[in-house]
Amino acid sequence: MASSMLSKFDKYWKAVNGVMAIGIVLDPRYKVALLDYFFPLIYGDEAEDEIEKVKSFFQKMIIEYDLKIKEKENVSSSSNQTQTVSDAVVGKKETWRTNFAKHVGAKKSVTSSRSEFDGYIEEKVLPDDENFDILGWWKASGLKYPIMQMIARDFLAIPISTVASESSFSTSGRILTPHRSRLRSDTLEALMCVQDWLWTDVK
């Protein structure tokens, strides 16, 4: 029985939950610094590899969200091209203004997804204030970290459910009651409202 419980413990102890890791990195009070502190205590010599896994996972998420932004920009660009044709009919004055706007837009420096992540990580962590409003901070940081703000909007609204330890490591089977294993209705309502408000603010 002891060996069975130990194998189960090792299985979940070594598994890095990507969602929870992203939640830590998205907290400007901790970022990767918290992983640098705790992972050596948890994983020992494998700590660096585990931290790199978290960074790699986060960067893949940034690339995925960046692609979504570019798809929206392509749709918007197609709409602007149609408008440009209409402007050309109006007169040369509107045409050169439209072309000048395109020229200025092309000259703007575009921050890559990797540099956005690196820039965020390189900034100093904020003071560890228990009353810190992480959602408010990300709402105000949208211009600086637009892609990461989208990730924060989605991931910080994910509820974290816990499972009783006696259920996880018990060899006698399921012992949770339906009431104990579900979130309260008011908790679900609050989470849904928060995500809805975040979507509205970003739009």
Quick one: pLDDT at residue 82?
A: 52
Quote the pLDDT of residue 15.
58
Residues in the chain where the model's pLDDT stays below 70: 1-2, 5, 8-17, 75-94, 96-97, 100-114, 160-183, 201-203
110 close to 139: Cβ distance less than 8 angstroms = no
Segments making up each domain of the chain, as ranges: 2-156
pLDDT at res. 80: 56
pTM score above 0.85: no
> Looking at residue 108, what is its pLDDT?
45
State the pLDDT at residue 110: 42
Q: What is the pLDDT of residue 33?
A: 93
| Residue 13: predicted pLDDT | 62
Tens-place pLDDT, residues 23-43: 899 999 999 999 999 989 988
